[in-house]
Structure formats: C-alpha cells, structure tokens
Amino acid sequence: MGRLTDRRAVLRWGLAGTLGLALPAGTAVLAGMRPRVTPAGASAPAGPPAGAFTRPLPVPPVLSPQSTDGGVDRYEIRQTVGRQRLLPDSDTEIWGYNGMFPGPTVRARRGRPVVLAHRNELSVPTVVHLHGGAVPPEQDGHPLDYVLPAAGSADAELAAHARHGVAGLATGSREYRYANDQPAATLWYHDHRMGFTGPAVYRGLAGFYLIHDEVEDALPLPRERRDVPLLVADRAFADDGSLFYPAVDPTGREPGVTALYHHSGMVGETVTVNGVAWPYLEVDAALYRLRFLNASNARPYRLELDPPPPGGSGFVQIGSDLGLLPRPAHYDMFVLSPGERYDVLIDFSRYPSGTRVVLRNNVAEGDPGYVMRFDVGAKVADDARIPAVLTPEPAPPPRTTGTADRRFSFFSGAPGVRGPAMINGQAFGMTRIDARVAAGSTEIWDLTADPIHPVHLHGARFRILKRNGAVPEPQDAGWKDTVFLPDGGMRLAVEFGGHRGRYVFHCHNLEHGDTGMMATLDIT
C-alpha cells in the first residue's frame, strides 16, 4: 500500500510543473494553484489505498516535566533513532524526539517559562526551532546553531559555519528556553539544520508545542480527548519499508535532492497522520477540536469532508498559526500548506451515528487524495459549543496602505534544473543581512513567487493585507507566521518582535529552504 515505486509517482507531480494541484472554478482561495497536468499514460487507481483506515489514530503523548522548580517547567528530550510502525505491515527506522514520530507534545501556559534540554544521540548535527515561538534569537534555533552529536566532534567546516550562527556551537546537548509570552496557539518544534532540515524533519524530528491561556480556558471549546492535534505528513517508502529520501549526496555533505524532486520538494504517496498511514479515529457524535499541522516537507493539502455534513460547512476554523481568530469562520474546504496550522472544530453530531467520514485531500489523485477517516459513534452529552466570539478583535495594523517597505520574490527557477532556490535572486548567504528592521516596528512587505511557496518568518508575526492584489480570504484572518504564496503574491503587515538579533525567513518547502530559499532578518 502506498509504497513509492520510486520515480513514477513523483513524475506525475514533478513534470506537472509544480505540485499538480487542481484549480476548481470559483474557489478564490486557491488562486495560485496550478491546474493538474497528468502525463499521458498515468492514471490513478480509484478508491482508498489498500490497508487504509485499518489502524487507529495515535495521539502523541504529553511530555511530563522533570522538574517544575521556581515556576519553570523543565523537560528533557533525547534525539534518537527509533523504529515505528508507519505502515501496517513493517517497522520503519525513524529519527525521533525521544525516539518517536511525532515527538512528544509539550503543553505550556502563557507566561510560564519552559526549558527543553535536548540531547543529540543521532549521527548528525541538529538544531531545534520552535516554529511560531516569540523567542530571542539565541533560543530560536538558527540553522547554524548546531548541537553536535554527543558521540562526535566538530569538523572544521561545521565550526566555521557555527561562527555565523547566533548561539554558538554546542556538543551533545543544550537547553532551549522559552518564555511563552504569547497567546494560546498551536506551535511545533522541529529540526532546522542548515541545508538538511528536509531530511531531518522527514525522518521524524517534529512535534507539537501547545500554548494555553485564560482566554482559551474561558471558552466552551472541546477539551481533553476531544482536542486532538493532527500532524499530517506525506512519506515515500522503499520496498523494504524504509523511508525513501532522494538525497543528491548519499554521504550527506551536499544539501538537496535529485533533479526530479528539486522543484516539487520531497513529496510521497503515503499520507501519515500522527505517524500512522491513513488512520481512523472513532469519534462521538459531538463537537471536536482538531489542530491541523502540515508537517510535510513540500506537499500542500486541500482538505474536505466526504461526505460533508448535511447543510455543508463542516469545518469551523477557530484559530490560525498564532492563535485564536476573533470569531469562527465556516468552510467546506481549506488549504493547508507546509508549516501552517489550522485550529478547526468539527461537529460530528451533525452526522447520523455510524457515518464514516473520510478526510480527503482533493488536490491529489490516488493515494495522497486520502488522509484519514472519522467513524462517528453514538450521540453523547456534550457541553462544548461553537462560541460566537473567540478573542477580542486585534487592533488593525498601524499602516495598511501606501507602498511596500520591502519586496521579496521567491523563485525556484526552471523545472528540471538543479539550480539554487532564491529570494530576490540570491541564495542564502551566511554572512549577508537581507533585511534590517527596527524592533517592535511594523512594515508592509510584498511577497511574490513563481508559485507555490509557503513562506515562514522567524522573529515576527504578520497579518495578511492583500491576497493576489485583492482583499484577503476569511482564512487569512488572525496572526500568522507562514503563508502560501499564490501567483499574484501577498501583501503583509509584518510586526517584528522586541528581541534584537538575527533570525531567518525562508520557504517552508523544506527542500527549497535547504537549497537556498532562505534569507536573514536583522532586528535592531
């Protein structure tokens, strides 16, 4: 099931120019996605993949602190090789936080500090980035802030790179300190080593980091087992069940993937959720909160419920990347690009008991067109509700009109050519500053792309002012840190945090970021 018979599946994508995404008429949200081009002779099998929906959805365990002394939650995480049953019929070697994929979930409270002590028991340098965290540069996981393997030593090249980081080289282990001085939100932590973020995240170095606060506590939202984080990630497998990753350099010195995958980034035909291929979840006929994270290296999804609930609009979005929206937004489908989070309610009581609701990815044919299944059980008492108002309306950005302060183009070049992926015509430069901005300021940024690049900013948060030159879509509301650039580009009001120093911004198509589509922001 879902095994990549190596190149064939990817040819369907790669040769389609971009990710082969269908563009149905009348869905403005999707402007920017190219129509599918299916090469002659390629046909996708109908129906769900063999073996799909036979294993229950796992929920990553919540990590317990080693100590809570002084009001600081201190956790320890070992980065190790593990074995895990991603596919139904064989175990796969992974790299995991505490040996598991996804890693354990960290639950934090707004204003209560967390220390994560990471120990690198892998064979390569690692870096931990808290995606969405408002943290100082030396805690952010700059891609050159290597933690060398506990059983290794720095070679000259790594030591030279590390001089251009912000925190300096660590050997074996280091602590990351997070103040959690930000609203309740679904964040995630993942590896971010320069040039090798793609293969490291692909092998499993990713987990949830949830921040809770009083605003969220006061709402009648689903809780505990009805508040479910869903880490969606596609993978490809070799015939022996091992993860297939088309590194251009098997010795692991040169970053990047082979020409066939260079433009698309690493896409696989098997969709995993919380580390299991096409799982199912038995749900009560009640309201659920599903925190979607697209942790795929390169694949965007457009999610829909099949069948939709009677009356439609099965998804009620309550939060975006960086927290709750002012009020809920109702959709039949939404696009989830790599790095983005959508916090969504689904009211399964709208379905008759016994309904099997398939979560479809309706921009892909064949196996990756399926994500997971919800099996609706009996009606139960449920006091969760969909609140009419979630958070106070945020103040409008200080400036929303006029010319842009900066423009950045994201360009990955001609298909089939393994050139650098670039921002404003330049590949990442370790010593170059690409934008110098004032701490606490807000700037207007215009971003354009040879689509379709999911762009992520560290050290900043933004609101969307324009999509494709027009008014934003409902799901562009709220504070975000990652945005999927359409053909016509986006205009953002970017608010820089109060911490001074160097951060990166980059394409969250991880193979693009690894091969140059990253730049440096200096907050002064």
What CA–CA distances, in Å, run from 45 to 1, 264, 364, 422?
12, 22, 12, 36
Binds ligand C2O (CB under 6 A): choice among 190, 263, 461, 491: 190
Least distance from ligand C2O to the Cβ atom of residue 139, Å: 14
Cβ(139)–Cβ(178) below 8 Å = yes
The answer to whether 339 contacts ligand C2O (rule: CB under 6 A) is: yes
Minimum CB separation from ligand C2O for residue 339, in Å? 5
Q: Minimum distance between the CB of residue 508 and ligand C2O, rounded to whole angstroms?
A: 6
Kindly state whether residue 131 participates in binding ligand C2O, applying the rule CB under 6 A: yes
Tokens 């408002």 correspond to 134
8 Å CB contact between 229 and 62? no
Contact residues for Cu ion, defined by CB under 5 A: 453, 507, 509, 512
Separation between Cα atoms, residue 384 and residue 428, nearest integer Å: 47
Any contact of residue 461 with ligand C2O (CB under 6 A)?
A: no
The verdict on 458 binding ligand C2O (CB under 6 A) reads yes
User: Quick one: what does residue 174 bind among Cu ion, ligand C2O, none, with the CB cut-off 5 to 8 Å set by partner type?
Assistant: none
In angstroms, give the least distance from the CB of 176 to ligand C2O: 14
Total residues found in the chain within this entry: 524
Least Å distance, CB 513 to ligand C2O, is 7
d(CA 237, CA 266): 12
> Collapsing DSSP states into helix, strand and coil, what is residue 282?
strand
Residue 228 CB, nearest distance to ligand C2O (Å)? 21
| From ligand C2O, Cu ion, none, interface partner of 131 (C-beta below 5 to 8 A by class) | ligand C2O
Q: 512 touches which of ligand C2O, Cu ion, none (CB within 5 to 8 A by kind)?
A: Cu ion
Nearer to Cu ion, 347 or 450 (CB): 450
Asked if 193 touches ligand C2O (CB under 6 A), the answer is no
Choose which of 129, 161, 235, 263 interacts with ligand C2O (CB under 6 A). Answer: 129
Q: What's the CA gap between 36 and 361, in Å, rounded? A: 14
> In sequence order, what DSSP letters do the residues of 345-384 get, joined into one string?
EEEGGGSPTT-EEEEEETTS-SGGGEEEEEEEEEE-----
Using CB under 6 A, pick the residue from 192, 235, 461, 502 that binds ligand C2O.
192
The CB-of-449 to Cu ion minimum distance in angstroms stands at 7
Nearer to ligand C2O, 131 or 289 (CB): 131
Strands in 393-459 per DSSP E: 406-411, 422-423, 435-437, 442-449, 454-457
CA dihedral 321, 195, 278, 89 (to 10 degrees): -150
- Tokens 């709750």 label which residue? 324
Residues that bind ligand C2O (CB under 6 A): 129, 131, 190, 192, 339, 456, 458, 506, 508
